A = this chain, B = another copy of it.
Amino acid sequence: MYPKIITISREFGSGGRTIGKQVAEKLGFAFYDKELVDKIALTSGLSKEYIEKKGEESTFGNSFLHILAMDTGLNYEVVPLQDQLFTLQSNIIKEIAEKEKCVIVGRCGDYVLRNREDCLKVHIFADDNFKEKRIVELYGEREENPKKRLQKKDKRRKNYYEYYTGQKWGYAHNYDICLNSSILGVEECGQIIIDLIKKKENKG
């Protein structure tokens, strides 16, 4: 079965979003990154700002799966809003995947769609120097130095991923293909994915 859904997990500054956009455009697939935020906002009534900030952050402490396994009636009066948000955005991701050919960036897409055989799971990472330079070029200087900004953002993404999936972030086995964009080049990473999908399409 050829992939009609591509999930892209990415380190901050690695070019994962750019690669996803390139792949979607070249293949004529729908692209979901900020677009996913809009959809979630519309369904949930939550603000885009809240979803952007909390949609890739965990509530920490016990893992989400652990909390679900507990007798929530006794231990938790309400499910924390962030966990509700995770459930909601997972459902939206599943709906999108059911409906159309698409590229989905972040939000544990690989985990949410792990049982779909028509999903190609991509992880994009890069060396620190490359990422530091890239975030300054893209998002400008900040008071905080680029190294700290990277560490902070990736720590949050890592915690979020591990909290909701119970899997190790950046461990090859969670994905089908992992690419170092600082070595291979951002555009070349996109091309590898495009070629792969096209070949699979031709084989049916």
Contact = CB atoms under 8 A, between A and B. Distances in A.
Contacts of A178: 123, 172, 175, 177-178
- Judged by DSSP, the binding face of A is mixed
The 9 closest A-B CB pairs, nearest first, are A178-B178, A172-B178, A176-B183, A176-B180, A172-B172, A170-B172, A125-B172, A177-B179, A171-B171
A147 B171 CA distance: 21
B196 A192 contact: yes
Number of copies: 2
A175 B123 CA distance: 12
Interface string A118-162: 001001010000000000000000000000000000000000000
Among A178, A183, A188, A195, chain B packs the most CB atoms within 10 A around the CB of A178
Given A172-B180, A184-B196, A188-B196, 9 more contacts: A125-B172, A170-B171, A170-B172, A170-B173, A175-B178, A176-B179, A177-B184, A192-B196, A195-B195
Contacts of A168: 171
Contacts of A180: 172-173, 175-177
A199 interface: yes
Contacts of A199: 188
Contacts of A172: 123, 125, 170-172, 175, 178, 180
